[in-house]
Amino acid sequence: MKRQDYISWDEYFMGIAMLSAMRSKDNNSQVGACIVSPENKILSLGYNGMPIGCADDDMPWEREGENPLDTKYMYVCHAELNAILNNAHGNLKGARLYVTLFPCNECTKAVIQSGISEIVYLADKYHDTPACEASRRMLKMTHVKVRAYEPTGREIHFTL
């Protein structure tokens, strides 16, 4: 008989999105994303971070500042956008995006344009913001499937 205690596809890919988030240098928000093909092959990974060539130590990570140029928002590239842009295979049509936080409107635009057809998200803590409302409107119009990840309570430990 085969082993029964193996992790599900959803656990596998959301787990990888969570692991990717651990690479983030952002003190306040660590988000990870994992994009998979309809055949459950991993196509790309991403986490929120500064653009390539913008040194992490030279960039602002603050959320507030008198000058918007001194906040992270002007510069940070979100996990979903990074995963879309990191995709080496060139085609995300019909792909599924696992992301640890419901996507903002900017990432949603990129999701739609890239051809991703399903989003599985973990947290939705900005649900009531205009950005997330705009995301939901666009996703509904474009028939992108959206579903909340269903936590299983499984704990995974390993030593690196």
Residues annotated as catalytic (active site), given as ranges: 80
Smallest gap, in angstroms, from Cβ of residue 69 to Zn ion? Answer: 20
C-beta closer to Zn ion: residue 43 or 84:
84
Among 87, 85, 132, 129, smallest CA distance to 110 is for 85
C-beta closer to Zn ion: residue 34 or 107:
107
CA distance linking residue 156 with residue 119, whole number of Å: 23
Smallest gap, in angstroms, from Cβ of residue 147 to Zn ion? Answer: 18
Write the burial class of residue 96 (CB in 10 Å: 0-12 exposed, 13-18 middle, 19+ buried): buried
Smallest gap, in angstroms, from Cβ of residue 85 to Zn ion? Answer: 12
Question: What torsion do the CA atoms of 15, 19, 20, 24 make, to the nearest 10 degrees?
Answer: 140
C-beta closer to Zn ion: residue 117 or 135:
135
Residues that bind Zn ion (CB under 5 A): 78, 104, 107
